[in-house]
Amino acid sequence: MLGLALLYFLAKPFYKLAEQYGRNQIGYSLLAIIVYYAGVLGFGLMLGIALELTSPGSVEGMNDFFLGLICIPAGLFTAWILYNYLEKRFKGHLSVDRQYDANIIDAELIRKDD
């Protein structure tokens, strides 16, 4: 039950961000959940490999609940990175479709507001 509450509070900011910029709210909420689980899985795999390389056999005796608690911050961190990226992209800082001067070669590399 706590896991569902965590997923709800994880997806809610993504839903509001997508709603604010007129994007698909459900899609970005699901993307947040997928990225969270990818971060948890990736960190868990890296931690398991590192533990097995440093002290063989230590992963077999590790408590699964403890491993899950360790991986939660990694999943939240990856979701936070995605949120910041999407926020910057939606605001237009990373936008590719700006107005450029056609007379300048490689004008898309030069920002007019600099």
pTM over 0.85, yes/no: no
Amino acid at 96: V
**Phi and psi angles of residue 68, each rounded to the nearest 5 degrees, phi first:** -65, -40
Centre a 10 Å sphere on the Cβ of residue 3 and count the other Cβ atoms it contains: 9
pLDDT reported for residue 1: 77
Supply the pLDDT for residue 79: 95
Mean pLDDT by 10 residues, the chain (114 residues): 88 92 91 95 92 85 85 94 92 58 58 52
